[in-house]
Amino acid sequence: MFSLTGLPLRVIAVVLAVGAFAATMWLWPRLAGAGWRAWLGRLSAFLGTQLAVLAALGLVANAYFGFYSTWGDLLGTGGGPGMVVDHQPAGKALSVTGQQKVYSSQGSAPDRSGSIEQVRIQGESTGLIGSPAYVYLPPQYFQPGYAHARFPMMLVLSGYPGSAEKLISLLEYPASTLKAIQAGQMPPTVLLMMRPTVDSNRDTECMDIPGGPQVETFFTKDVPQAMASRYRVLDRADARAAVGDSTGGYCALKFALRKPDSYRSAISLSGYYSTSNDPTTGDLFGGKPALKRENDLLWRLKNLPPEPVSLLLATSLDEKNYPATQKMIAAFRAPTQLSTITLDTGGHNFRTWTREIPPALEWLGKRLAPPQQPGGAGPGAGPTTAPPVPGAS
Q: Stretch 114-124: mean pLDDT, rounded? A: 93
* 226 part of a folded domain: yes
Q: Stretch 285-293: mean pLDDT, rounded? A: 94
Compute the distance between CA of residue 325 and CA of residue 98 in angstroms, rounded to an integer. 21
Compute the distance between CA of residue 272 and CA of residue 203 in angstroms, rounded to an integer. 14
The reported pTM is 0.76
Given a contact cutoff of 8 angstroms between Cβ atoms, the answer to whether 242 and 221 are in contact is no
pLDDT tens per residue across span 30-55: 777 777 777 787 788 778 888 878 87
Percent of the chain with pLDDT over 70: 82
Given a contact cutoff of 8 angstroms between Cβ atoms, the answer to whether 325 and 269 are in contact is no
Show the DSSP H helices in the chain as ranges.
7-27, 36-65, 71-75, 110-113, 164-169, 173-182, 215-217, 223-230, 247-258, 289-294, 297-303, 322-331, 350-365
- Is it the case that residue 86 has pLDDT exceeding 50? yes
Specify the pLDDT at position 81. 59
Compute the distance between CA of residue 308 and CA of residue 336 in angstroms, rounded to an integer. 5
* 178 part of a folded domain: yes
Q: Stretch 236-244: mean pLDDT, rounded? A: 97
* 144 part of a folded domain: yes
CA 158 to chain centre: 5
Is there a single domain that holds both residue 363 and residue 332?
yes
Residue where a domain stops, chosen among 33, 65, 97: 65
* 393 part of a folded domain: no
Dihedral over Cα of 375, 378, 381, 387: its sign: positive
Burial profile 143-168: b = 16 or more Cβ within 10 angstroms, e = fewer: bebbbbbbbbbbbbbbbbebebebbb
Is there a single domain that holds both residue 24 and residue 90?
no
Angle subtended by helix axes 36-65 and 7-27, to nearest 10: 160
Banded pLDDT at 88 (limits 50, 70, 90): confident
In degrees rounded to 5, what are phi and psi of residue 371?
-60, 150
Specify the pLDDT at position 244. 97
CA 363 to chain centre: 15
Q: Which range is least confidently modeled, 88-102, 171-185, 212-226?
A: 88-102
pLDDT tens per residue across span 261-283: 999 999 999 999 999 999 999 99
Specify the pLDDT at position 195. 93
Q: Stretch 102-123: mean pLDDT, rounded? A: 76
Is there a single domain that holds both residue 170 and residue 222?
yes
Is there a single domain that holds both residue 220 and residue 188?
yes
- Is it the case that residue 226 has pLDDT exceeding 80? yes
Is there a single domain that holds both residue 175 and residue 282?
yes
Banded pLDDT at 15 (limits 50, 70, 90): confident
* 223 part of a folded domain: yes
Mean pLDDT of the chain: 84
Banded pLDDT at 59 (limits 50, 70, 90): low
Four-CA torsion 16, 22, 24, 26, nearest 10 degrees:
-140
Residues 6+ apart with CB under 8 A from 62: 4, 5, 68
Specify the pLDDT at position 379. 65
Q: What's at 197, amino acid-wise?
A: T
Number of CB atoms found within 10 A of residue 292's CB: 18
Specify the pLDDT at position 155. 98
* 383 part of a folded domain: no
In degrees rounded to 5, what are phi and psi of residue 385?
-95, 120
Is there a single domain that holds both residue 210 and residue 320?
yes
Range of the domain at 26: 7-65
* 75 part of a folded domain: no
Specify the pLDDT at position 19. 82
Tell me the CATH number at 95.
3.40.50.1820
CA 37 to chain centre: 51
First-to-last CA distance in the chain?
53
Compute the distance between CA of residue 166 and CA of residue 116 in angstroms, rounded to an integer. 14
Q: Which helix (H) or strand (E) covers residue 213, if one does?
A: none
Given a contact cutoff of 8 angstroms between Cβ atoms, the answer to whether 196 and 210 are in contact is no
Is there a single domain that holds both residue 41 and residue 97?
no
Compute the distance between CA of residue 63 and CA of residue 73 in angstroms, rounded to an integer. 13
- Is it the case that residue 71 has pLDDT exceeding 60? no
Is there a single domain that holds both residue 188 and residue 146?
yes
Is there a single domain that holds both residue 45 and residue 125?
no
- Is it the case that residue 135 has pLDDT exceeding 70? yes
In degrees rounded to 5, what are phi and psi of residue 263?
-135, 125
DSSP string, 174-191: HHHHHHHHHTTSS---EE
Q: Which residue has the higher pLDDT, 248 or 131?
A: 248
* 208 part of a folded domain: yes
Is there a single domain that holds both residue 210 and residue 114?
yes
Is there a single domain that holds both residue 256 and residue 345?
yes
Is there a single domain that holds both residue 157 and residue 240?
yes
Q: Which range is least confidently modeled, 56-70, 85-99, 190-204?
A: 85-99
- ∠ CA(225), CA(386), CA(180), 5° rounding? 70
Domain count, the chain: 2
Q: How many CA atoms lie within 13 A of 388 on its CB side?
A: 4
